[in-house]
A and B are shown apart, each in its own frame.
Chain A
Amino acid sequence: MMTETTKTTPPSRGTGRKFDWQYFLLENITGSRYQTIWITVLTLFTAFFAVDQFKKAPTLVLVISILWLVGVAMVVVGALFHRQTEVSRWLKDNLLSSVSNTVLSLLLMLGLGMAARGIALWAFINANFNPAETAPEFQTTTGATWGVVWGARKLLLTGRMTPEDSSRVTIALWFIIVMWVLTYITSRPALRDKFKLVYKVLMGLWLFSPVILYVFLAGIANAPYNTSVVLTGLVIFLAIYALFWSQKIARFSWTNLISVAAAWPLIYTVWWAIGRSEIFPLINVDTWGGFMLSLIVASAVVILSMPLGMMLALGRRSEVYGIPSWIVWPVAIGITIWGFVKTTPQLLADSRSSIEMIFAFWPLAVLFLAYMLQRTFSGNVVAGASTAFIELIRSVPLITLLFMGIIMAPFFFDEGISIAKPWPVIVGYTLFSAAYTAEIIRGGLQAIPVGQYEASDSLALNGFQKMRFIILPQAIRIVIPAIVGQFIGAFKSSSLVSIVGLFDLLGIVRAVLSNPQWLGLRREMYVFLAIVYFIGSFVMSSYSRRLEVRLGIGER
């Protein structure tokens, strides 16, 4: 032991101006057996790689090697004479800090250089950008045929919409763009006070923008005025208001009451009037496609899954007084006995396969459910149902839910009802997304310190008030970045709807690729798709990072 220690202890270092070779070798190459082997292998591999690539692109390899040599020389000279310039210091810190790093840098520079050369050759230098020359006879293996992107732009943007409908899409697009720009301008701190009213109007428009976009993109049917819908809506609005008022989270005033009562009839009448006037006739939703459909699916899913997810999260954490066991157990045991006595013998007699026989013992499932309800949730059905929903959804793949929406949903409705494909897909996707959103929001709720809950309890706030005024405002602020991440995920995963036969961006690309005019341009199209998704997601994620800083998450 002792001898080893003395052997590996480096001689005192850097006392004089002389460069200590012994120490340098020990630190970089002969420090341990593994280090030596690693450096040898790395150097040999790099040398072979350089020689191999030299045949392909001599100039590039030479230029990179010379640049590398110059860098090494600068660092070595700087180290020997203790005079580092800014460049050589940066090189020493970042690229050439040790022998293995130096060789690795050369290898990576060569690899990156060759990759960049290959990409440049394929994507730019040998590429053909002419939209007219995309047919297979114009295609080459050495260069890309980018004309397809421009040639198929209409399909890629809006899918197979008829020309008279696509003007409405353009208007909707401009509406959103103008809204974005105005919001961006008015939300600048300097201008915010000047344009307070504009900002408020914009926020209102954003609130209604899903409806406005729906009207533009799907249209309103010319339906007769339905009084029962008006009355039902009115009752529901008033009931919600009454609930809020009774739980003291909405104040009572006659103006409020009248505006709540008038809101639904007003909205419905306007809706009906627009439908009657046929300014926005119905568009066949099945023709939606391309980038538009991807955006529609992603936004609809995020907007719809937000309230649903919040309900599920609150439900999972609910502390409602559960059904007492003296109700659960007698009922469950009663059902079990009834099932075993009345149905099981018949089912057993009717079944011929083992799976069927297992199903004959269904009363045991009731008993099991009752046990779970009592044991895990102490009779709380709200928490039990929310948890079961979330966990079941989270344990199956998204694609099975989309499939359920599109193939199975029609079987659950009466004959003759046909639904456009996007709706069941959005519903299935929303269920999936809501389960994940619920878990995010639950995380936010759990991140709130217990003191906040206790403080609101000690202020004698009721459950609704506690949530509305104390907990949710803080929890939502915490989870906003995660929700943006969820939106990015929804935007990316919206490509899955192409598997169940929707023509979203990916689906329309596959359709484009089967067109004889653009046959065989798979690489080009998939690279283009990746770029589109990358830009979209990257912009959103950097926005979310900025948001995180602005909201000061993790700092307050």
Chain B
Amino acid sequence: MVKTPPASLPETETPPFWRKAINYMFDLRFLGVLGQIAFILFVVVSMKALGGNFSKNVNRLGESQFVCRDGSFSYRCAFDFMDSEAGFDVSDTPIDYETTDPYWKVFYIGILNTLKVAFLGVILVTIVGTFAGIARLSKNWLVSNLALWYVELMRNTPLLVQLFFIYFGVLLALPNIDKAKQLLGMPIFLSNRGLNYPSPQLTSSASIWMAFLVLAIIQVQVQGIILNRKEERTGQSTNRLGAGIASFLIIVAIGWFVSVAVSDSQGLLVSKASRIQNLEDIEKNVLKRSGLNGLEELSTLSEEEVSAIALQICALRDSASETNLTAQLRAMNIPYEVTRSGRPDQSIKKYEEGKCEVFVAPKTVIAAERATLENPSAHLVLTVREKPIVWSVPVREGLNINGGTKMFPEFMALLIGLVLFYGGSLAEIVRAGILSVTKGQSEAARALGLNESQRLQLVVMPQALRVIIPPLIGIFLSLAKDTSLGVAIGFPDMYAVSYTMMNQSGRILQIFIIMMLVYMLISLAFSLALNWYNERVKLVER
């Protein structure tokens, strides 16, 4: 069968050129493309006009913000202000900061604060939301109704009102710092100036210990490989986990003692007249002064008497040396009082004036300062051994609490508010996710003899996660963005810091652009990380 071509092709007239052109003109696709190009041009032109208007308005008030002049040479300087002095104080700083530091540093602090709240918030909200979501489904009528009302309360009141209530109504209504509440008998103090709690501090000998830690990890790996080979060779199982833990602990402990023994960077400046040669001598000294037989009898003395016999220490502010020494003194039950100053020369001056008996600081600092004393040979430098990690413990001292780490009430209020608010939203998501797992799965799990927690962990949750994760990403993103509400209660997050920077420098546009870019980057990073996780969960499921 061969297709025969038609006898003669129908004669088609090729349309004239102008006809084609007109056809093109009225083609929807052509018009659409034309419209899109016009749109781009419109956007570009209006951006340009707006920008011109903006710089005109900004520059009206003074010299140009964007172009500076250096003699006859003009250059662009829109962002040069970031290097000039910020000149305003920030209450809650994760890194050292002084008002003389440049703008970029204070902005960096803002970013750190935002990230701190966002990360902690994300972790805590996951815990709170999961618990509340499971509680919503509890068989206990009271539990499920309590969770229901928690969710309804959180979902139906604005976050900002909650923040204000937590900050002004609860945290600022706590007792003053001199009457701070001590929680659970531990050195944790809660007052209207925040929460003071003990925190570990790395000392200079920590590096040695860290080396041992690395050694221990390597050792565990090597041991694991060796034992594995042995198992393969002999066919007998060995207790690999136990051996690993044991060798790890042994090496870490050795490292601990070694680093304590070899540490000699911390010095203690004492006068020869005091006859103090080591820490035990301090105890004798104090006992002699008090006329007691032993330090156990200290409790019989009144507060004034104790402070009269206490060891007077000079130290630098926020120094690990002080934490290290006072931790040892506390362990020996020796009373002490600390006088802190910002610079070594101030401390040595106080020491020279006799305001304190000892001056504790790194040896290099002490050596330098001892040389400035009138009669350096009358003073000794003792070595204070230090543990790799010392606990800095908050202690009441007069009207203040020193030591430990302080959590500011603004930070607490923001974190609590965000976690409670988004915990309510997350609870509903978790509940929906759990309910989305069909009943048969639970029944099958029960039939296999799994108990309730196994059923949740192994059967229900992995399947519920598939439903939970996508809206969870939205919740986390909202939480990260809503850290900006900290500005309302005075928490120096990125938005609050930017706002102050704008008022101080007048560089509104530049700071605004940087701020928006950082927010976008944070959102992007969050959503990328969570979407990556989502992909993983999905793959595991299939």
Contact = CB atoms under 8 A, between A and B. Distances in A.
A34 B453 contact: yes
A411 B58 contact: yes
B484 interface: yes
Interface of B is mostly: helix
Interface string B61-100: 0000000000000111111101100000000000000000
A500 B477 CA distance: 22
Contacts of A496: 160, 485
A91 to B, nearest CB: 9
A407 B57 CA distance: 13
A203 to B, nearest CB: 29
B156 A538 contact: yes
A488 B77 CA distance: 45
Interface stretch (A125-133, A168-176, A317-325): A317-325
A523 B54 contact: no
B161 A411 contact: no
B519 A397 contact: yes
B164 A408 contact: no
Contacts of A398: 481
A506 B516 contact: no
Contacts of B53: 411-414
B215 to A, nearest CB: 36
Interface string B142-169: 1100100000110111111110110011
B139 interface: yes
B169 A523 contact: yes
Given A94-B141, A320-B36, A399 B161 contact: no
Contact of A351 (B76, B499, B512): B76
A125 to B, nearest CB: 19
Contacts of A506: 158, 160-161, 164
A412 B39 contact: no
B40 A408 contact: no
Contacts of A104: 140, 142-143
A495 interface: yes
Contacts of A347: 76
B169 A533 contact: no
Chain B, interface residues (CB within 8 Å), range: 35 or more
Contacts of B487: 399, 499
A64 interface: no
Nearest to A463: B28
B140 A97 contact: yes
B458 interface: no
A202 interface: no
Interface string A318-346: 00111110010000000000000000000
Contacts of B37: 323, 327, 381
Given A400-B495, A411-B58, A530 B140 contact: no
B54 A412 contact: yes
Interface string B188-211: 000000000000000000000000
A411 B484 contact: no
A352 B77 contact: yes
A136 interface: no
Given A353-B83, A506-B164, 14 more contacts: A34-B453, A353-B77, A356-B76, A397-B519, A399-B484, A407-B508, A408-B509, A410-B57, A412-B57, A492-B156, A496-B160, A506-B161, A522-B164, A530-B162
Interface of B: 28-29, 32-33, 36-37, 39-40, 43, 50, 53-54, 57-58, 60, 74-80, 82-83, 139-143, 146, 152-153, 155-162, 164-165, 168-169, 173, 451, 453, 477, 481-482, 484-485, 487-488, 495, 499, 502, 508-509, 512, 515-516, 519-520, 523-524
28 contacts: A97-B139, A104-B143, A108-B143, A112-B142, A321-B28, A321-B29, A322-B36, A324-B33, A351-B75, A353-B80, A355-B78, A356-B79, A381-B39, A394-B477, A395-B481, A395-B520, A396-B523, A397-B495, A400-B519, A404-B512, A407-B502, A408-B508, A495-B158, A496-B485, A498-B160, A506-B160, A522-B168, A533-B161
When A and B form their complex, which 9 residue pairs have the shortest distance between CB atoms, in order from nearest? A94-B141, A395-B523, A537-B156, A381-B36, A321-B29, A492-B158, A397-B484, A526-B165, A397-B481
